[in-house]
Amino acid sequence: MSSTELGFTPATELTRLIRTKALSPVELTRAALERIERVNPIVNAFCTLTAEQALAAAREAERAVTSGAALGPLHGVPYSIKDLNFTKGVRTMGGSFIFEHRVPEADAAFIPRLRKAGGIFVGKTTSPEFGWKALGDSPLTGITRNPWNTGTTTGGSSAGAAAAVAAGLGPLHQGSDGAGSIRIPSSFCGIYGLKPSYGRVPMWPVSNNDYSSHNGPMTRTVADAALMLSVMAGPDDRDRTSLEGAPE
């Protein structure tokens, strides 16, 4: 498949192809990075790419496949993180010149879960400054454009994640929502976005707006949203508001 075809393929199908060795994690990651580099100048969905880190993780994922090791539910599949959420060793700017050079020393609580599940982190997606409006522009990263019509807004604040899904820049993207910040851009860009119940996905470290914010998936299919949420969700001792798993 071409990088365009892979970019629009659901994660549920990509994991099947990887498990059956019809697709390699390295091939998929290279295709995702190639498409991001080609399309991102048009839509401005990503503000940071982690290409070297992603390819190293993909090579490790490929070794696991060839060795017959146990594979996680997201094994070899690219994902992105909204630039409001802390990523250890990778700048987290929050759409603001104030934090242009901020590099956190810890990950947000749900990120190690995505990594443990075998996901491949490819970069950070744009947000308006501090996530405090329902549009897709910031003074630091500029305007994020709707892939359906680049003269229109993506909505916000999970602007880059919504644009990335709609533009086929990989299947799994994380957003956050306090007052519509997943739901508005998902609606504007014609994708699936879910604001989980508060505490379903743990919030740590806590920033100034985390007590009103819910982390959730933004994807092309309902099945992908369910898959990503199943990995992100669950209690964390560092977040006293986090919930136990859903009842059987």
- Which pLDDT value is given to residue 246? 57
- Which pLDDT value is given to residue 210? 58
Task: For CA atoms 103, 111, 161, 24, give the dihedral sign.
Answer: positive
Contacts of 165 (CB under 8 A, 6+ apart): 171, 173, 189, 191, 218, 219, 220
Distances, alpha carbon 215 to alpha carbons 23, 52, 242, in Å: 30, 26, 12
- What tokens were used for 224? 């992908």
Distance CA 64, CA 70 (A): 7
Q: Which of the residues in the chain have pLDDT under 50?
A: none
Q: What is the DSSP letter of 90?
A: B
Distances, alpha carbon 55 to alpha carbons 24, 71, 89, 91, in Å: 12, 18, 16, 18
Task: For CA atoms 192, 215, 86, 93, give the dihedral sign.
Answer: positive
Cα angle at 66 between 60 and 68, to 5 degrees? 105
Superfamily name with CATH number, domain 3-232 = Amidase signature (AS) domain (3.90.1300.10)
Distance CA 175, CA 218 (A): 6
Say whether the peptide bond before residue 186 is cis (omega within 30 degrees of 0): no
Q: Is 83 helix (H, G, I), strand (E, B) or coil?
A: coil
Q: Is 49 helix (H, G, I), strand (E, B) or coil?
A: strand
Distance CA 209, CA 221 (A): 28
Continuous H helices in the chain:
3-7, 11-19, 25-43, 51-67, 111-116, 159-166, 183-189, 222-232
Residue type, 128: P
- What tokens were used for 238? 């560092």
Q: Is 211 helix (H, G, I), strand (E, B) or coil?
A: helix
Catalytic residues: 82, 157, 181
Continuous H helices in 90-142:
111-116
- Which pLDDT value is given to residue 207? 61
Q: Is the pTM of this model over 0.75?
A: yes
Q: Is 54 helix (H, G, I), strand (E, B) or coil?
A: helix
